[in-house]
Chain A
């Protein structure tokens, strides 16, 4: 394999396809290498997932496709899959000796473009180039669908992590320029061109994005329009269309954050409650009555209770068990139709699920949440952060029963800021890679509380859909997998997403990450990247996961948090640390 960046061979495609094979089984690694070489592919082998990720990061454009085993000692294959999909946006093929439907489904949910069963035959490998080809075609289509705007770039911007993304996938900037130069020459060679970008790409650098955010905030998120933003930004070469497209993505991103917050809030708030009454915002005209215990806590939230200490302790203890509990709850929940169903704690106890990705469900839910959050847009976007918090809690009614044992409101507070931790979902993972997951760590504390009783009730999928009929079916469906309840609750929350709130959230997340910057150890890295990913994932489900995530903590801080909630920050740090390990073990990864 050549050193440095190897350029794709456009003329002999698929010959020369650059494949990275990851498998801890040395015999298979050797066999696959031999087979792929026979197909005239360029093969690089790796027996450790971590090494593979490093390799991929080093040679940004050095590979066309990744083939990875599902079971690996250092990192779960699905996790690697997510990382690759998110950061590098390469097609990934999973392999395993186990062909059980649930596993295959999981692979697909995590974004695998194919799932091969061992023993693998030559003919199966001969055709893997189709996945590379397909992705390229889609990329081109995506790009062409946006007038002059680099779709992929936009999608990758992932909000505040955008700059990190740039740093990480620095090649985008340079390659973007390079592509622009060569675009004219390579129009016919799109297939060979790794990026297959036909149009000039607008690179939303950190600075540019900051200007954008400033302009948006100046006018008020809900009132702003592309033209005004453009004027305020005062960037001569930028077009109105560029801004419009970017704005759209930004809104989706915010919605997603909102949802995640809601989700978190719901978890955190799950306490005994009962209807909480104060629904600060009345915006959510959610029908739901299920008020999670959070309601009570929600009220607590109003004051942004300084229960920081609580979360921390909570986190530490329950963390893992909670997650499991949550997961199981989610799982259980999904089966139930009525929104108000509160699963029998005893049922939940045995987490059927979970498997390697405790947060799988959450992801799902988060995704739902994300989707749902878009709805809030319809609402006023001028919610006060606190209110939002509260609202979120309110919305998550369902959790009532389960929350009897939930911790104090403080947790909720805590929860909110943090990203929701996806409840592990065994099987249902939405198509999107679990971007939301990363954020989940923070939520842990709240979950933890819940998990002790495992009463968290996740609304069944059905309810989710009921709640948000407006939401596009596609979203609901894609997320429709077990454990929708969380997401359902999230979506419920749709209260207007306050720009400030979002900023706070982002900054809080950043804090979390920074607080935890322990370098990129495999587990840490995963966590962090998870977080990052959570933040930076494009909100568009349909968009391919093109965001790249920066795994280095320091790079994450794009802007100083404007978040006024120091408490939140504080909370994050603690839970982060406490949760870190358990999370990692559980393969939180949404990265």
Chain B
């Protein structure tokens, strides 16, 4: 059946996201919080994250353009952003954040800039993957509640 195929496809996409290290346990927590009252909870949170984090990323970018670099400020901005990434379980992005903070502590400006580029890349990649994932889920979505055993 088409639907069951879609379910399988969805499950595979989901599994890949975990296996490839894009997402961590937090994402599962979000899924567990999803219920009838909030049937699109996970997507809501991811959307909130991507919306909210734009300005955080911009802050970092601006701070990186200053010369000389203010590592304290950079660290602080990144700290905020990192907190945000933990909300959806964005594992790879979070790791880049951690790396970035290490470079801040060491006062390594080049390291920070490099890591930041990497971070932006991971951030964008994950966004695309999640968008695709949710789109697929939505296709199956409406039926989901009816199929689930109460």
A residues contacting B by CB (< 8 A) are 24-28, 30-31, 34-35, 38, 69, 71, 96-98, 118-119, 121-122
Contacts and interface: CB of A to CB of B under 8 A. Distances in A.
Contact of A27 (B25, B33, B52, B76): B52
A35 B79 contact: no
Nearest to B46: A27
Interface stretch (B8-16, B61-69, B85-93, B141-149): B85-93
A25 B83 contact: yes
Contacts of A121: 29
25 contacts: A25-B87, A26-B51, A27-B49, A27-B52, A27-B84, A28-B83, A28-B84, A30-B45, A31-B30, A31-B45, A34-B38, A34-B41, A35-B33, A38-B33, A71-B76, A96-B83, A97-B82, A97-B86, A118-B83, A118-B87, A119-B86, A119-B87, A119-B89, A122-B29, A122-B32
B80 interface: yes
Nearest to A34: B33
A557 B5 CA distance: 74
Contacts of B86: 97, 118-119
B44 interface: yes
Given A35-B33, A119-B29, 13 more contacts: A27-B45, A27-B48, A27-B87, A28-B84, A28-B87, A30-B45, A30-B48, A31-B45, A34-B38, A38-B33, A71-B80, A98-B79, A119-B25
* Secondary structure type dominating chain B contacts: helix
Contacts of A118: 83, 86-87
The 7 closest A-B pairs by CB, nearest first: A97-B83, A27-B87, A27-B48, A27-B49, A119-B26, A119-B86, A118-B86
A30 B44 contact: yes
A35 B32 CA distance: 10
Interface in B59-107: 76, 79-80, 82-84, 86-89
Contacts of A26: 48, 51-52
Interface of B: 25-26, 29-30, 32-33, 38, 41, 44-45, 48-49, 51-52, 76, 79-80, 82-84, 86-89
Nearest to A35: B33
Nearest to B84: A25
Contacts of B76: 71
A116 B52 CA distance: 22
B29 A25 contact: no
A40 to B, nearest CB: 13
Contacts of A98: 79
Contacts of B89: 119
A152 B41 CA distance: 43
Among the interface residues A28, A31, A71, which one has the most CB atoms of the partner chain B within 10 A?
A31
A571 B80 CA distance: 40
Among the interface residues B29, B41, B79, B87, which one has the most CB atoms of the partner chain A within 10 A?
B87
Contacts of B87: 25, 27-28, 31, 118-119
Contact of B79 (A24, A34, A97): A97
A26 B30 CA distance: 15
A27 B88 contact: yes
A31 B88 CA distance: 9
A31 B44 CA distance: 10
Nearest to B80: A71
B57 to A, nearest CB: 14
Contact of B52 (A25, A38, A71): A25
Nearest to B94: A97
Given A25-B83, A119-B89, A31 B52 contact: no
B29 A71 contact: no
Among the interface residues A27, A34, A69, which one has the most CB atoms of the partner chain B within 10 A?
A27
Nearest to A97: B83
Contacts of A119: 25-26, 29, 86-87, 89
Contacts of B26: 119
Contacts of A71: 76, 79-80, 83
Nearest to A355: B72
B97 to A, nearest CB: 9
A343 B19 CA distance: 55
A574 B104 CA distance: 39
A97 B80 CA distance: 8
B83 A69 contact: yes
A118 B79 CA distance: 12
A28 B26 CA distance: 11
Contacts of A30: 44-45, 48
Nearest to B45: A27
Contacts of A34: 33, 38, 41
A566 to B, nearest CB: 42
Nearest to B38: A34
A1 to B, nearest CB: 17
Nearest to B56: A25
Contacts of B49: 27
Among the interface residues A30, A34, A71, A97, which one has the most CB atoms of the partner chain B within 10 A?
A97
A561 to B, nearest CB: 41
Among the interface residues B38, B44, B83, which one has the most CB atoms of the partner chain A within 10 A?
B83
Among the interface residues A34, A98, A121, which one has the most CB atoms of the partner chain B within 10 A?
A34
Contacts of A31: 30, 33, 45, 87
A123 to B, nearest CB: 11
B24 to A, nearest CB: 8
